[in-house]
């Protein structure tokens, strides 16, 4: 479980996060949603330590991450897997080398054990046999799946996904969403997905935290989201004509 308490973050006097708190349980898909500039990616980066919050704390199963030393953070980070918006695969490495990279760095496995693990991860994301391809040879959806394979290669306890569906067609987006949900349930990871994709919200949002202008406006599940009377949330979720038309059916 990850708990955030009263997170504040500002950049050059601009307050981006204004006291965000929340609890993200393990084995369920937790979503952070909000419009552009609402602070969701900043919150994610504060949680993983890419940004240092001005105040507040991030607790990984009770361990306060924010005041930790560099060495202590390394130990927590070994338990984190992250899928980036642009996949962030290493250009100079093949798919196999990308997935094997954390294993090379932090395990003493033999080469054959590592190859087995790579093949397992690739099979898990339905990319078996793509070991020797370079990121430049992959489609956007395949890159995301390799990103997931790399993120799960070390059996992470915590999985973070930053806009996993950005730039993908609706069908591939659903494949990625389902994959994230399956992995979460299978490995009992604490999964946090930052998104503004409504299909993801309705499809996999077990717990949703809605941010608006750097504040937490609402939290709940995808079953509850259609039945709130919070204007900002309704404006965000039901912005499109399709969603407006579909609202009554939820």
Binding site for other proteins (CB under 8 A): 48-50, 70, 73-75, 77-78, 80, 82, 84-86, 88-91, 101-102, 104-106, 154, 160
Interhelix angle 95-106/111-124, rounded to 10 degrees, is 130
Q: How many CB atoms lie within 10 A of CB 66?
A: 18
Give the nearer residue to other proteins in terms of CB position, either 19 or 140.
140
Give the nearer residue to other proteins in terms of CB position, either 91 or 229.
91
The CB-of-213 to other proteins minimum distance in angstroms stands at: 23
Q: Are strands 14-24 and 2-11 parallel, antiparallel or unpaired?
A: antiparallel
Question: By C-alpha distance, which of 50, 66, 89, 51 is closest to 4?
Answer: 66
Dist. CA 233–CA 228, nearest whole Å? 8
Give the nearer residue to other proteins in terms of CB position, either 156 or 214.
156
The CB-of-154 to other proteins minimum distance in angstroms stands at: 8
The CB-of-82 to other proteins minimum distance in angstroms stands at: 5
The CB-of-102 to other proteins minimum distance in angstroms stands at: 5
Q: Any idea which residue has 């952070």 for tokens? A: 32
Dist. CA 94–CA 216, nearest whole Å? 40
Give the nearer residue to other proteins in terms of CB position, either 106 or 242.
106
Q: How far is CA 62 from CA 20, 49, 66, 179, in A?
A: 17, 16, 12, 28
The CB-of-73 to other proteins minimum distance in angstroms stands at: 8
| CA dihedral of residues 208, 48, 62, 180 (deg, nearest 10) | 50
The CB-of-191 to other proteins minimum distance in angstroms stands at: 15
Give the nearer residue to other proteins in terms of CB position, either 93 or 246.
93
Question: By C-alpha distance, which of 132, 1, 7 is closest to 61?
Answer: 1
Give the nearer residue to other proteins in terms of CB position, either 11 or 242.
11
Question: By C-alpha distance, which of 81, 49, 80, 50 is closest to 65?
Answer: 49
């Amino acid at each position: 479980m990850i708990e955030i308490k009263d997170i504040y973050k500002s950049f050059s006097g601009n307050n981006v996060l204004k006291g965000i708190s929340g609890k993200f349980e393990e084995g369920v898909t937790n979503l952070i949603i909000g419009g552009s500039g609402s602070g969701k990616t900043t919150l994610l980066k504060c949680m993983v330590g890419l940004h240092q919050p001005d105040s507040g704390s991030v607790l990984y199963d009770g361990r306060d991450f924010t005041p930790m030393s560099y060495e202590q953070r390394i130990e927590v980070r070994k338990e984190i897997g992250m899928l980036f918006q642009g996949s962030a695969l290493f250009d100079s490495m093949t798919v196999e080398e990308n997935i094997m990279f954390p294993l090379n760095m932090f395990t003493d496995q033999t080469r054959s054990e590592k190859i087995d693990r790579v093949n397992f991860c690739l099979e898990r994301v339905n990319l078996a046999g793509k070991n020797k391809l370079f990121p430049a040879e992959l489609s956007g959806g395949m890159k995301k799946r390799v990103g997931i394979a790399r993120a799960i290669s070390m059996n992470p306890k915590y999985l973070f996904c930053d806009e996993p569906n950005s730039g993908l067609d609706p069908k591939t987006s659903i494949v990625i969403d389902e994959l994230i949900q399956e992995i979460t349930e299978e490995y009992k990871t604490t999964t946090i997905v930052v998104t503004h994709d409504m299909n993801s919200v309705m499809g996999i949002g077990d717990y949703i935290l809605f941010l608006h202008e750097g504040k937490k406006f609402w939290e709940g599940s995808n079953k509850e989201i259609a039945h709130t009377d919070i204007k900002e949330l309704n404006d965000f979720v039901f912005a499109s004509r399709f969603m407006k038309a579909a609202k009554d059916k939820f």
